[in-house]
Homo-oligomer: A and B are copies of this chain.
Amino acid sequence: MNTTPLRLVMNKNLYQRDPQDTELGRKIIQESIKMIDELGFEKFTFKKLAEQIESTEASVYRYFDNKHRLLVYLIAWYWVWLEYRIDFGTQNIESPLKKLEIALDILAQKKVLDPAFPLVDETALFRIVIAESDKTYLTKQVDEDNKEGLFRGFKSLCDKIAGFVKEVNPDFKFPYSLISTALQASHQQLFYSDHLPSLTELGKTNEDVNVANARFLREMVFRSIGK
């Protein structure tokens, strides 16, 4: 089966020059995902990246103002992608309960390569999201970054799922709080199961970590909203 290659539309403030437009830009995306995954964000530098893609630091700076912005771009891409997958998965579904279930499932699902986006290695990007996504907003410049709309992807996703919650139970007082908590938890629990296993049950049962994660999320969310 074939899939049309797609292009996610990203907020223009996320980049200086659109990396999806040029060969060099695409290399920056591809290679930075690989390198941040391997080195971690702090050890990753534009210099090392430029060496890898056989270009120069100055050229990379033409696409992204700094490495923080590049990280924000990658994470934003992930959230936009997730929302697209949830839109896709909940297409033609009537029941809000069912839609919520599907959304949580997609969240927790093991990530595999999406042929619609050959540019991006979603499995590596997912590891980056788990380990680095909080760093996008845990800075002194959150407010300015937020004003520029850099976190729109995350907010939009949260809004969508919170919308399902409101449909399921219009009386529940904390749909946004609950869903933003669930979104975070979905990554955190995976990080814990890998590195601080005494903080989670995931990985302790004989079922797959991702499946256990999905069960945990579903239980927490559904019980919280009283279903």
Q: Which of A's residues lie within 8 Å of B, judged by CB?
A: 39-40, 42-43, 131-132, 134-135, 137-140, 142-143, 146, 151, 154-155, 158-159, 173-178, 180-181, 184-185, 188-189, 191-192, 195-196, 198-202, 215-216, 219-220, 223-224, 226
Contact = CB atoms under 8 A, between A and B. Distances in A.
A140 B127 CA distance: 12
A195 B40 contact: no
Given A177-B216, A181-B220, A223-B224, A196 B142 contact: yes
Contacts of A199: 154-155, 158, 176-177, 180
Contacts of A202: 177
Interface SS of chain A: helix
Contact of A175 (B155, B180, B201): B201
A138 B135 contact: yes
Contacts of A175: 201
A146 B185 CA distance: 20
A69 to B, nearest CB: 15
A5 to B, nearest CB: 32
A195 B140 contact: no
Given A40-B139, A139-B40, A219-B173, A146 B196 contact: yes
A181 B177 contact: no
A41 B128 CA distance: 21
Contacts of A146: 195-196
